[in-house]
Amino acid sequence: MSRTSKLLRGGPISRRRFLTGSLLCAGSLGAAAAVLFRGERGNEPVAPPGKPLYWVTSNDRKIGFDDLGNVVALQRDDIPLPLAPRRSGLSLHDPVSSERLWVSGTMRAQRGAVVQTARLEGMGFSVEAVYRFLQDDTLEVDGWVADETGRDRVIDLIFSVPLTLDGTSWQPSLTEPRRLTSSDAAPLQQHVPLALVGDIGDKYDLAFSIPPDHPVRFEIQPDPEGEAFSVRLKFGLSPAAGGVLRSRAPFRFALDILPAGAGLRFALDRYYARHTEVFASHVRRFGFWQIAPRGKFTRPQYYAFHETGYAGGKARSVDAYERNDGWGLDEAAGVYTLAYTLVGQAEITSLAELPTDYDASMTALDEWNAPANPFGGPSPRLPNSYTDVDQHKAIIANCALHVSPNRLHLVRRTTAWGGNSVTFPLNPSPELGSLSPTIARYMLDDHVPLLLASASVDGVYVDSLEAWGNFYNYRRAHFATARIPLTYQADRRQPALFNTFSHQEYLWELRERLHAAGKILMGNGVSESRAFNGFALDVICAEQTFESVLNNEPLLAYYRTIARHKPALLMIYDGWEREQDVARLWKWSLLYGFFASSGPQNASYVTPVNEVRYQDRFAPHLIRLASAGWQPRTGVSTADSHVRVERHGDGSHFFLVLYNTGPSVSLVTLQVDHSVVLRSGAARMRDVLSDEEMNVGILSGSKSQVAADEIRVLEIWETVT
């Protein structure tokens, strides 16, 4: 039995319960990785780093390397910035032998850039890295690491900047700044591919980032004791991989040298600007996520994104699907109708009994028979779509993940929709070569075009990105066509495909086709380990609980960070009878601009009373905030750390949301950064929730009283002085 299937024994499960099991598995692997990172030390240099001989230059930034590849000089505006006298730059760490070797090799200058090439004969690796500044003066490091032994290998590529970190500010997310001491074991960032160390010698900030279109398993972490700020990329190398990935992994990351005190939000704003296409919003309307026809909801006017399939499984044609699922109601209301699809698994359901072991499961697959199921979705007995049972089995044969040679990953489970079932995680990459049929080719070439033939369909919904992306695939035939580098599982340390990245390849292809047709892409299961999947979506969704949301502000900040202006939607099934929790949920929703709603789990669903009450009070304001667009740089701050501040809208007309998370009333003094908002300094203001107009004149220095656990939404206009 696979490790994951053991987590899932014990009775019928919902979509959310499977998701929770997967998160537990992912969390344990992340913890193991964190221990590995913190417990390691690099080899100390025999001699101190040398003088800067090779310079990478831009208009106002410079980085200098010595002849061994050490980072020995940083400059901003021609001002030297402090560094620690430590070995630094590129290194390789072998997770199997725990050996770490610094990369030296040959350094050469090349038109403002520096190229480093090295063969590490003792480890059997070669490396090339090109260091250059981009137009916005961010240092980009672009290169590859390759195996030269012809064997399967796993390797961590690390780039370190030598820093004295005592007293600096570690900022891995919007909500978790932390002052470091020399004895700290700082938490790593392995979810959002950007993190910053600030106030380095009171001279500058440094931020590492990874481009949103270069998925990789990564860790960003300061090491105060080892005096290093590092990014680590985790690769698997195999001769079974194809093309540029044969025994090789390309990499790309960036280092942003910023003014002291600039902070993570400033770095994040620059990150968005470097990747405008990824973070551009393609929706014209905002609202809640619905998984039933509009008539099921008490306040349908607040819903904007319809995940179809609630009644679609009863249909045998697109016309019947459209009638059953209420697509015409969506069309009349201007709601996005997003056709349900599931590409990460295929299952056999309604078995007489649950198979007891692997062999019994494979026998059940051979013997299983069922009629065609043209439209999958949440409500039918089978969520998969297929034209006949032989096609369904062939897709499993061609796309199933392998846990070992010729042994399929599978999950034996009992679910509310399928009863006794065996579920096979699938590789949904469109790049599986000559294999046919595959789930990607069936979806992209047959099923999705069939759905889009309806004028009512505005795009596609992809389900369960977290649950089925959580597996590692050791099927060597699949290595040959991967577009994203291989990686490895912490407890196996062998090259593998991470199925999250195989989903990524599918999402890229689907999004390109949808955007060409003026359609959008919505995906569910965007957990904390699925940021790169989230970057590929137009609408980001996840199923959560009140407990996971209300006690986890970093999770909410994570969704806002990866979405930027895109809609971030949460589905919470249970707990709406607890009015205090509903009230707190709405305050966080207004602060970070996300939409949380309940969802039908059966035909008797009625919108919870508390949900309707708070929708009537707050939903119109939330829709305005989302339409204005969240901004990473607030431009307005307070001295009270309990009072959260977020801005939605541009610098001359915007909404400022204040939420006092502290235990007592706070008289907040607003401090304005006029380089970000209100350049003239003068403003008028309206309290949106009380509809009170306040002509404040000069906003900076004005005071606002915020009670404990109170949320205030201020609409602010710049006025001419």
Domain termination residue (choose one: 259, 276, 293): 276
Beta bridge pairs of residue 204: 200, 259
Both 326 and 395 in one domain: the answer is yes
C-alpha span between 215 and 519 (Å, rounded): 24
Q: Residue 685 to residues 36, 163, 592, 624: CA-CA distances in angstroms?
A: 51, 44, 20, 16
CA of 452: how far to CAs of 325, 378, 384, in Å? 15, 19, 18
pLDDT at 613 over 60: yes
Residue-level pLDDT at 222: 96
Kindly state whether residues 625 and 638 are assigned to the same domain: no
187: which residues sit within 8 A by CB, 6+ positions away?
Answer: 34, 170, 172, 176, 178, 221
Residue 701: pLDDT band with limits 50, 70, 90: confident
Give the domain CATH number at 20: 3.20.20.80
Whether 666 and 609 map to the same domain: the answer is no
In terms of domains, do 207 and 106 share one? yes
Same domain, 623 and 655: no
Evaluate whether residue 34 is within a structural domain.
no
Residue 35 is assigned to a structural domain of this protein: no
Tell me what pLDDT residue 311 has.
65
- pLDDT tens-digit map of 643-667: 999 999 998 899 999 999 999 999 9
The reported pLDDT for the residue numbered 681 is 79
Q: Which domain holds residue 703?
A: 634-718
pLDDT attached to residue 221: 96
Residue-wise pLDDT for 151-188, tens only, equals 999 999 999 999 999 999 999 999 978 999 988 788 89
Distance CA 687, CA 652 (A): 17
Tally the domains of the chain: 3
Q: Is the pLDDT of residue 143 over 80?
A: yes
Q: DSSP of 319-377, one letter per residue?
A: HHHHHHTTHHHHHHHTPEEEEEE--SEEEE---SS---SHHHHHHHHHH-----B----
Q: Is the domain of 228 the same as that of 102?
A: yes
CATH number at residue 231: 2.70.98.90
Residue 44 placed within a domain: yes
* Closest C-alpha among 428, 537, 429 to residue 483: 429
Maximum Cα–Cα distance for the chain, whole Å?
A: 80
Q: Does residue 218 sit in the same domain as residue 293?
A: no
544 and 471 in a single domain? The answer is yes
303/205 same-domain check: no
Tokens representing 358? 């692997």
The answer to whether position 217 is within a domain reads yes
Among the candidates 575, 600, 630, a domain finishes at 630
Q: What integer is the mean pLDDT of 599-611?
A: 85
Q: Are residues 176 and 302 in the same domain?
A: no
Pair (376, 407) in one structural domain: yes
Average pLDDT, the chain: 90
What is the CA angle 432-436-442, rounded to 5?
90
Task: Give the predicted TM-score (pTM) of the model.
Answer: 0.92
Domain finish residue from 230, 245, 276: 276
Q: Judge whether 626 and 635 are in contact, CB under 8 Å.
A: no
pLDDT, tens digit (0-9, with 9 covering 90-100), for 269-283: 999 999 999 999 999
Q: How many residues are given for the chain?
A: 721
User: What local confidence, expressed as pLDDT, does residue 313 receive?
Assistant: 56
33 located within any domain: no
The verdict on 617 and 641 lying in the same domain is no
The backbone torsions φ and ψ at residue 215, rounded to the nearest 5 degrees and listed phi first, read -60, 140
Tell me whether residue 323 is in a domain: yes
